[in-house]
Amino acid sequence: MSEFILHQYPASPYSEKVRAVFGRKALPWQAVTIPVIMPKPELMPLTGGYRKTPVLQIGADIYCDTLLILDEIERRHPAPSLYPGDTEDQAKALSWWIERTCFGPAAAVIFAAVGDRVPQAFKDDRARFSGRDFDPAKMQAAAPAMRDTLRAHFAWLAGMLRNRPFMLGGEPSAADFAAYHVIWFLLRNLGEGIAAELGLAAAMPWYERMKAFGHGERSELDAQAALEIARKADPAPLQDQALGKAVVMADDTGRDPVEGELVALDEARVVLRRSDPQVGLVHLHFPRAGFILRRA
Ligand SMILES: N[C@@H](CCC(=O)N[C@@H](CS)C(=O)NCC(=O)O)C(=O)O
């Protein structure tokens, strides 16, 4: 049975990023399908309140945010690398650029088009998640400007791909997976024609190359079985630092705070230890980039 348990749902673009990485590395993994909106009662015992999608579970270790999830998959299965050659920092910086500049506008363009058709419960949830109104009329008014933003950034992406098969050269890096899932989100919801409208026609062969990696060897796992796996496992040993109580929260959307004992900290990663009646002791791993750490 695979060590990797990905808590995800089919329509989630950030989940698609990780699914595609499993494809690239031809890895087996187990999928727990989680709710698209809160409440997520079978996820919260593992994450202590972190609600974003996806979350990677390995026994009693829980990895939040795809920046760190990719690092952990890479650490365990280094070949083929997500950071080929000496590209790790470039790949991470480019991932940050495309996700932070293009994911929000992509969501705005999509929900301007389909927002009238989504259930009210989804609108209310995503308003709470983003801290902003979910108002399809406002999104429709903003859509032309959002499309302009996407075109400006996608022109750089298309330029990077003009003379090379992948963003940083001959092999795909983490950056390609970050760009891929944003475009996957747009194409899945608005149809393939949106690519040309947003200046991505020339990048489509790259998109097809990314899609062709597939999803690796997926099997399904029940949410309760995932909780049981966490309950039976111990977190991987760390050089415990016992740094006192702390709170970690995302700095953009889904800012629900997670409290725990700070047990490891460096410039890239923070680890909180938490205990929950359903899963016992777990270690929650977050990246530093994109998260705020407050120590008690
Ligand atoms: N920086 C996060 C972003 C994750 C994210 O925003 N995921 C979206 C879905 S693709 C989400 O959490 N939406 C609300 C939800 O699923 O509850 C990451 O890289 O994992």
Q: What are phi and psi of 277, to 5 degrees?
A: -55, -30
Tell whether the model's pLDDT for residue 1 goes beyond 90.
Answer: no
Residue 94, burial from CB neighbour count under 10 angstroms (0-12, 13-18, 19+): buried
pLDDT of the residue at 242 = 84
Ligand 1 atom closest to Cα of 52?
Answer: 12
**Which amino acid appears at position 230 of this protein?**
A
pLDDT of the residue at 229 = 98
Q: Ligand 1 pocket test: which of 53, 66, 103, 182 has the largest number of ligand atoms within 8 Å of its C-beta?
A: 53
CA-nearest residue, atom 6 of ligand 1:
52
Q: Average per-residue pLDDT in the chain?
A: 97
E strand or H helix that includes residue 120: helix 120-130
What is the residue whose two structure tokens read 């050089």?
A: 239
Ligand 1 neighbour 149 (Cβ under 6 A): no
Residue 39 in tokens = 């409440």
Quick one: which of 69, 88, 89 has its CA closest to 27? 69
pLDDT of the residue at 239 = 85
> For 28-60, how does the pLDDT look when each residue is reduced to its tens digit (9 = 90+)?
999 999 999 999 999 999 999 999 999 999 999
What is the arithmetic mean of pLDDT over 5-32?
Answer: 99
What is the arithmetic mean of pLDDT over 53-73?
Answer: 98
Q: Where exactly are the structural domains of the chain?
A: 5-80+218-295, 89-211
Q: How far is CA 169 from the centre of its chain?
A: 23
Task: Say whether 127 sits in a helix, a strand or coil.
Answer: helix
Q: How far is the CA of 51 from the centre of ligand 1 (A)?
A: 8
pLDDT of the residue at 241 = 82
Distance from C-alpha of 73 to C-alpha of 177, rounded to nearest angstrom: 14
> For 109-152, how does the pLDDT look when each residue is reduced to its tens digit (9 = 90+)?
999 999 999 999 999 999 999 999 999 999 999 999 999 999 99
CA-nearest residue, atom 8 of ligand 1:
53
Fold of 5-80+218-295: Glutaredoxin (3.40.30)
Fold of 89-211: Glutathione S-transferase Yfyf (Class Pi); Chain A, domain 2 (1.20.1050)
Ligand 1 neighbour 87 (Cβ under 6 A): no
DSSP-derived letter for residue 225 is H
What is the arithmetic mean of pLDDT over 263-273?
Answer: 96
> For 200-256, how does the pLDDT look when each residue is reduced to its tens digit (9 = 90+)?
999 999 999 999 999 999 999 999 999 999 999 999 999 878 889 999 999 999 999
Residue 231 in tokens = 């309950």
Q: How far is the CA of 163 from the centre of ligand 1 (A)?
A: 32
Distance from C-alpha of 224 to C-alpha of 209, rounded to nearest angstrom: 36
Q: What is the model's pTM? A: 0.98
> For 157-203, how does the pLDDT look when each residue is reduced to its tens digit (9 = 90+)?
999 999 999 999 999 999 999 999 999 999 999 999 999 999 999 99
pLDDT of the residue at 131 = 95
